[in-house]
Amino acid sequence: MNRPFLILFALLLPLVGWAEIKKPKPNIVLILTDDLGWQDVKCYDIDEPSPMETPNIDALAKKGVKFWQAYAPAPTCAPTRCAILSGIHPARAQKTHVVGGAPPAPHHLRGWSMMSPWYSGRMPEDTVTIARALKSAGYVTGHSGKWHVAINHNAFPQPEDVGFDWTRHERGATEPMRPHRMTGFATRHTDDPFRLDKEDFPYHQNSEDAVTFLREHKDHPFFLYYATWLVHTPIHSRSKALLDKYVKKLGVRLPDNPHQKWMKEGQSNPFYCAMVEMLDHYIGRLLDYLEETNDPRRPGHKLIENTYIIFTSDNGGMEGSRNQIITDNYPLDRGKISLMEGGTRVPLIITGPGIAKGVESNVMVNGLDFYPTILSWTGTKSPKDKHLDGCNLAPFLRQGPTNPNLVRETNNKVRNSMVWHFPNSAALESSIRIGDYKLVRNYDHVNNANNHELELYRLYNAKNGRTVREDIEEQKNLANSMPGKTRKMNQRLTEILTEMKASYPYYNPHGSRAPATKKNVCAVLSHQQTGNTVQFTYREKGAKVLRANLIYTLNGGARYEEWFRAPAKLVGDNKVYAQLPKGTTHYFLNLIDENNFLRSHPEVLDPKTFSKSNVKYTEKALKAKPSMIKKSDLGEKN
């Protein structure tokens, strides 16, 4: 190194600081709330003001970029969580709804004309999650709160199975109140596990665990996945003072009977409003820790200065059930468990080093973008052969977070479209957004006056660099008046889902509203197992059978019984052959005909009981011969 350069370096060093020249790897905090609606956060107010108070989240928005058109990968919890952690679209992962891992069957034998396809019960344990990728780059990885990427909160795989060094699951103040939500309010007694703090908020172990992780690992680059249990059901507040505050603010009266339904429309549920403010309070505690704590890796600086924060929700707000109205996503239509805007649009705030403050963006982004963005922020190489369905937002956030032309696919093309696939529950739909327009495809439209096959909405009118709200309410179906655009968007939706090998819902041959071609559904006549091979014979009744699947389990009768799908082979003379995977204990055959009817053998639902509730699948399934079963294959991990 020459003398003039050394002199220049010595002069510059006091100005910029050694820590700035050799800045350590940044920290990442991903806050994923549960069922928090787009209009439940005060700083997202449009039209009618939200009654909920969220000062800490509002303050966070002023320190970074707040997105008005941010979306979850799915309208329900588990597929969004898997998508964010894996970077893989729910349709590609065959993980499109909660729980899963069960044989396809209608919810009711006669009342449902369609049924969901098989979908995975879990995120595979060999998935290279963002936690695994960061861990390989020297990060310590932590999880606090909800998990739910398997058929049960406690089923395999758990966080430590997919790359997390540290994990805590405590529900804290969201534990159900017994015997009902008007009893068991928190006190200031020292032995009260939910003792109130000076601001009348109950002690919340979920929040404390998140801060504990930061406290224990602040001297390393860290990744914290803080998955709040709030504001999911049960809807209650352990703070009586906070509940009373919203009763007064909303001008409502609590029912005399604590078990009485709450059916007042709008954002009028005081229990829920109190929960949202509780959520805000606990997030504030975590943010305070980051802002007040010295960074051991950067003397003279606070942790917050080298920490990226992503705050969002797993799906749109849960508007309610038969027993209560919880919230209202208006002006967005519907909520959780729907692909209408209220089910997938979510609050999203991103802050961190190099990100402009106080920016409001109308650029369309998605939770799938977090994985590649975090890789970029941390300088972590993308895992070998890893497919990512999202975009790297880092250049966009750094250069111009209101410019949609900076959000680019891996081929460097500007992204202008997104796809959602939810062939589940009562929704049974897929959707695609291209620019200002959104198309919704309803699969359950035959003999159904409530559904059009295709719906087209113009959400915005973007021109001359301005984004003007047009029909975010999705009330003006343009499908008939714009047939060309409807056809092209529907075709593009099919192309994308085909590339992802998405699974679609089937017609139920027992459904009262099912198409008349149900009379042509085949019948299975016989089956026999020889070694690992099972042979079936069937008789067609007018509809050609196009494909067959084996639905099998490796742990029949276990606590977390889980079913998988494998293709079966159609051969001549109406025969089907299937290879039973090693360890198979029970199995079903699924035949799908040219009219998209699914025939299950044996039938999953009993014609006498009709309902899918509490079905014990192994009691209905065919049992594999003992030679197929090994005790080592019956563990919970299978």
Query: 131, exposed or middle or buried, with CB in 10 Å at 0-12, 13-18, 19+?
Result: buried
At 372-389, the pLDDT tens digits run 999 999 999 999 999 999
At 103-117, the pLDDT tens digits run 999 999 999 999 999
DSSP state of 329: -
Q: Which of 226-240, 249-263, 508-522 has the lowest mean pLDDT?
A: 249-263
Give the rounded percent of residues in the chain with a pLDDT score beyond 70: 95
Taking the whole predicted model, whether its pTM rises above 0.75 is answered as yes
Structure tokens at 7: 């002199």
Q: Is the pLDDT confidence value at 192 over 80? A: yes
Mean pLDDT of the 26-32 span:
99
At 326-365, the pLDDT tens digits run 999 999 999 999 999 999 999 999 999 999 999 999 999 9
Q: Is the separation of the CB atoms in 235 and 40 below 8 Å?
A: no
Q: Is the pLDDT confidence value at 16 over 80? A: no
Q: Which residues contact 409 (CB under 8 A, 6 or more apart)?
A: 391, 415
At 56-111, the pLDDT tens digits run 999 999 999 999 999 999 999 999 999 999 999 999 999 999 999 999 999 999 99
Give CA–CA dist 228/195, Å, rounded.
19
Give CA–CA dist 67/351, Å, rounded.
11
Looking at residue 463, its pLDDT comes to: 84
Domains of the chain in start order, with CATH, are: 34-105+115-353 (3.40.720.10), 428-505 (3.30.1120.10), 517-634 (2.60.40)
Going by their DSSP bridges, the two strands 222-227 and 27-33 should be labelled as parallel
At 121-137, the pLDDT tens digits run 999 999 999 999 999 99
Q: Is the separation of the CB atoms in 424 and 74 below 8 Å?
A: no
Question: What torsion do the CA atoms of 100, 226, 375, 307 make, to the nearest 10 degrees?
Answer: 170
Q: Is the pLDDT confidence value at 469 over 80? A: yes
Q: Is the pLDDT confidence value at 632 over 50? A: no
Q: Is the separation of the CB atoms in 102 and 179 below 8 Å?
A: no
Give CA–CA dist 318/311, Å, rounded.
18
Looking at residue 631, its pLDDT comes to: 45
Mean pLDDT of the 511-531 span:
97
Looking at residue 84, its pLDDT comes to: 98
Nearest to 407 by CA among 436, 349, 365: 365
Give the rounded percent of residues in the chain with a pLDDT score beyond 90: 90
Mean pLDDT of the 193-209 span:
97
Q: Is the pLDDT confidence value at 491 over 90? A: yes
Mean pLDDT of the 300-309 span:
98
Sequential DSSP letters for 535-590: EEEEE-SSS-EEEEEEEEESSTTSTT--EEEEEEEEETTTEEEEEPPTT--EEEEE
Give CA–CA dist 43/389, Å, rounded.
29
Looking at residue 259, its pLDDT comes to: 87
Sorting pLDDT into bands at 50, 70 and 90, what band is 630?
A: low
Burial code (b: 16+ CB inside 10 Å, e: under 16) for 39-49 equals bbbbbbeeeee
Q: Which of 41-45, 464-468, 557-561, 630-634 has the lowest mean pLDDT?
A: 630-634
Query: Per DSSP, which regions of 22-122 are E strands?
Result: 27-33, 65-67, 70-71, 114-115
Give CA–CA dist 71/365, Å, rounded.
6
At 555-601, the pLDDT tens digits run 999 999 999 999 999 998 999 999 999 999 999 999 999 999 999 99
Sorting pLDDT into bands at 50, 70 and 90, what band is 22?
A: confident
Q: Is the pLDDT confidence value at 17 over 60? A: no
Looking at residue 627, its pLDDT comes to: 62
Q: Is the separation of the CB atoms in 195 and 246 below 8 Å?
A: no
Sequential DSSP letters for 118-167: P--SS--TT---HHHHHHHTT-EEEEEE----SSSTTSSSPGGGTT-SEE
Q: Is the separation of the CB atoms in 308 and 288 below 8 Å?
A: no
Mean pLDDT of the 182-197 span:
96
Structure tokens at 498: 């085909």
Task: Check whether the bond before 234 is cis (ω within 30° of 0).
Answer: yes
Give CA–CA dist 217/322, Å, rounded.
45
Q: Is the separation of the CB atoms in 553 and 585 below 8 Å?
A: yes
